[in-house]
Amino acid sequence: MQHAKPLWIKNPLATFDGQHQNSQHITNGIVVENDVIIQCLGAGETPTVQNHDVFDASQHVLTPGLVNTHHHFYQTLTRACPPALNKKLFPWLQTLYPIWAGLQPEQHAVATELAMVELLLSGCTTVSDHHYLFPQALSHAIDTQVTVAKSLGMRATFTRGSMSLGQDQGGLPPQSVVQSEQTILEDSERLIKTYHQKDDLIEIALAPCSPFSVTTSLMQDSATLAKQYNVNLHTHLAETEDENRFCLNMFGMRPLDYLESVGWMHDRTWLAHGIHFNDDEIKRLGQANVGITHCPSSNMVLASGICRINELKAAGVRLGLGVDGSASNDHSNLMQEIRQALLIQRLRYEADEFTHEDALQLATSGSASVLNRHDIGILAVGKKADLALYKLDEPRFSGSHDPLAALVLCGAYKADAVMINGQWKVKQGEWLGGDIQKLMKTHSQAASRIYKRL
């Protein structure tokens, strides 16, 4: 249930509305009723509704709920996995695919729950998971994820990923995790019909894994199916130079040319990583209004490169943020990822060319635009009541002067309070929906079992 009466989130220490670098127009907080924001209050303003409750936010920084646009939840089971350490993307994947191939439904369910709760505790209210691994035991993996998301009350875009180009056909994944195109497309259509926008929280998108793990016909047919049902498309693209070389050898063209050849260059498409594009390709991406998810920690761990955020933004590309898989990050903390985005972009640009506000915008309104969600990611009247509130009461914040800058620069990593759809999910830094210690124990046991298969 939503809060019984309208709720005034009163007098925040600082506010970031998701859009404006200086959100001083919301100095006295916001008012939430049911699942939406009904007022944004400036200095001296008070709620117009008389019968309301109050949440004292005078010690909190208020932001929109963060939006994570790329993840692989199952990978929480193989964090810091010894055989995969200190490897580039392709050998890293080739090491982990045989481990992941043994994933069982109960392991996948607890991995999904752990990843979502970890994100929630960091202030994330909307998640997107790219699940492309379907060994025989996981034929209903997305159904499991939907069940978990509904039990948590979290907003989610689940992408029906796929791999159809196995090693026997010149692809990267082993045959044990490859499915037929007919199986993939039939299940994709089933999931759209069953779950997509059937309630306020769940959306479905289609997500062939990458050019090196799916066939050209599957890319084309997925685009056709997505257009038929007006759902989004997602894939990995231009993550490494190895991928560029693979596409040139396999298809005789660079990754973006390949993407255009299969009918993906439009505003329902978003791409993970998008690092290795040249100037002309960036221009074309902007003209097509394609979205890109920046995944800074993963790009650093795998030494993949640095996304050209400012050039992409100037070209008109929709830009968001993602933590990526928890085996290439190795955490699921979106607030920490905001700081990572700031730091890695400072290696490419001057200090005044990418700011802490720019990094925050990536994870809020930017990520919402990547998912084509216009009802989240900003604090404004009529938008969903998805909120995150952070306290600056740890030693790392002592002596800070600008609360919003401190949130990013001093390294905030946990939210004190989180609301989704007008419902509190975190209070006083604690997850309200379950026992976090019990969840971690079950998850650790599942991770131990999958690793012992080696």
Residue with tokens 């929709």: 318
* Strands ordered across the beta sheet of 233-237: 66-67, 124-131, 155-162, 202-208, 233-237, 269-273, 291-294, 318-321
Give the Cα separation of 284 and 290 in Å (integer): 9
If you count them, how many residues does the chain have? 454
Give the Cα separation of 98 and 389 in Å (integer): 41
DSSP-assigned beta bridge partners for residue 58? none
DSSP symbol at 107: H
Q: Which of 366, 367, 237, 370 is nearest to 304 (CA)?
A: 237
Residue 430, CB-side half-sphere exposure with 13 Å CA sphere: 5
Kindly tell me if the per-residue pLDDT of 174 is higher than 90. Answer: no
Tokens standing for residue 431: 């997850």
Residue 167 — pLDDT band, cuts 50, 70, 90?
Answer: confident
Q: What is the pLDDT of residue 454?
A: 55
Q: What is the pLDDT of residue 245?
A: 92
Kindly tell me if the per-residue pLDDT of 140 is higher than 80. Answer: yes
Lowest mean pLDDT, pick from 58-72, 111-125, 156-170? 156-170
Structural domains of the chain, with CATH: 7-64+376-431 (2.30.40.10), 66-370 (3.20.20.140)
Give the Cα separation of 78 and 446 in Å (integer): 10
CA distances from 446 to 109, 121, 293, 364, 450 (A): 10, 21, 29, 32, 6
Average pLDDT, stretch 8-35? 90
All residues at 6 or more sequence positions from 207 whose CB lies less than 8 Å from its CB, including other chains: 130, 132, 159, 160, 161, 162, 233, 234, 235
First to last CA, the chain: 45
pTM, 2 dp: 0.96
Give the Cα separation of 88 and 414 in Å (integer): 30
Give the Cα separation of 257 and 17 in Å (integer): 37
Residue with tokens 């909120």: 387
| Helix (H/G/I), strand (E/B), else coil: 108 | helix
Tell me the per-residue pLDDT of 421-444, one tens digit each, with 9 for 90 and over: 999 999 999 999 999 999 999 999
Question: Where are the extended beta strands (E) located within 70-216?
Answer: 124-131, 155-162, 202-208
What does 296-360 look like in DSSP terms, one character per residue?
Answer: HHHHHHTT-----HHHHHHHT-EEEE----TTSS----HHHHHHHHHHHHHTTS-TTTS-HHHHH
Report which residue type is found at 443. Answer: H
CA 295 to chain centre: 9
Q: What is the pLDDT of residue 67?
A: 98
Give the Cα separation of 375 and 398 in Å (integer): 35
All residues at 6 or more sequence positions from 99 whose CB lies less than 8 Å from its CB, including other chains: 78, 81, 83, 450, 451, 453, 454
Give the Cα separation of 173 and 132 in Å (integer): 11
Give the Cα separation of 153 and 137 in Å (integer): 26
Whole-number percent of the chain with pLDDT over 70: 98
DSSP symbol at 64: E
Residue with tokens 């692809």: 171
Average pLDDT, stretch 253-268? 97
Tell me the per-residue pLDDT of 295-315, one tens digit each, with 9 for 90 and over: 999 999 999 999 999 999 999
Q: What is the pLDDT of residue 262?
A: 97
Kindly tell me if the per-residue pLDDT of 160 is higher than 90. Answer: yes
Give the chain's mean pLDDT: 95
Tell me the per-residue pLDDT of 354-411, one tens digit each, with 9 for 90 and over: 999 999 999 999 999 999 999 999 999 999 999 999 999 999 999 999 999 999 999 9
Q: What is the pLDDT of residue 165?
A: 86
3-state helix, strand, coil in the chain (%, to 5): 40, 20, 40
Residue 136 — pLDDT band, cuts 50, 70, 90?
Answer: confident
CA distances from 85 to 81, 173, 243, 323, 329 (A): 6, 19, 20, 18, 12
Tokens standing for residue 414: 């946990």
Residue 211 — pLDDT band, cuts 50, 70, 90?
Answer: confident
